[in-house]
Structure 1
Amino acid sequence: MNEYDIDILRLAGAGYCCSQIVVQLALEVQGVENPGLMRAMSGLCHGFPAMEGTCGAVTGGACLLAYYGGKGRADEEENDRLALMLAELSSWFNDYAAEQFSGLKCSDIVEDGRIDAAICGGLISGCYGKVLTILVENGFDPGVEND
Structure 2
Amino acid sequence: MDQTLMRMLELSYNGYYCSQILLLLALDAQGKSNPDLVRAMGGLANGLGAETGTCGILTGAACLLSLYSGKGSDDEREDEQLKYLLRDLYEWFDLTIGGRYGGIGCATIVGDRTEVRQRCGAITAETYAKLQELLAAAGYDLTEGKNS
Assess same fold via TM > 0.5.
yes
Query: The TM-score by the shorter chain falls in which range?
Result: over 0.9
- Structure 1 position 109, deviation (Å): 0.6
Deviates more, 1:113-122 or 1:25-34: 113-122
Q: Secondary structure at the match of 1:4?
A: helix
What is the DSSP-based 3-state SS (H/G/I as helix, E as strand, rest coil) of the residue aligned with 2:125? Answer: helix
**2: distance between equivalents of 1:51 and 1:100?**
18
State the partner residue of 2:98. Answer: 98
Residues 47 and 114 of structure 1: CA distance in aligned 2, closer, same or farther (over 3 Å): farther
1:113 Cα offset (Å): 5.4
Instruction: Specify every segment of 5 or more residues in structure 1 that has no aligned partner in the other structure, as ranges.
Output: none
Over 3 Å counting, the alpha-carbon distance change for 1:131 and 1:32 in structure 2 is same
SS in 1 for 2:72: coil
Q: Answer yes or no: is the 8 Å Cα contact 2:58–2:93 preserved in 1.
A: yes
Cross-structure match for 1:53: 53
What is the distance in 2 between the residues matched to 1:2 and 1:37? 26
Q: What amino acid sits opposite 2:135 in the alignment?
A: L
Alpha-carbon distance in structure 2 between the residues aligned to 1:80 and 1:34: 25
Q: TM-score of the superposition, structure 2-length normalised?
A: 0.92
Q: Does 1:82 align with 2:98?
A: no
Determine if contact 2:22/2:124 at 8 Å carries over to the other structure.
yes
Aligned to 1:8: 8
The corresponding residue for 2:125 is: 125
Separation of aligned partners in 1, 2:6 and 2:100? 23
Q: Post-superposition shift, 1:3?
A: 4.8
Shift of 1:48: 2.1
* 1:145 matches 2:145: yes
Unmatched 5+ stretches in structure 2: none
In structure 1, what is the Cα distance between the partners aligned to 2:22 and 2:114? 19
Deviations 1:19-67 (A, max 9, x none): 0000001111111110011011011011125201111111110000000
Q: Is the 8 A contact 1:58 1:93 kept in 2?
A: yes
Deviation at 1:2, TM superposition (A): 5.2
Contact 1:20 1:42 in 2 (8 A): yes
Distance, in Å, in 1 between the alignment partners of 2:113 and 2:107 is 4
Amino acid at match of 1:59: T
Give 1:146 deviation, angstroms: 3.4
Contact 2:67–2:145 (CA<8 Å) still a contact in 1?
A: no
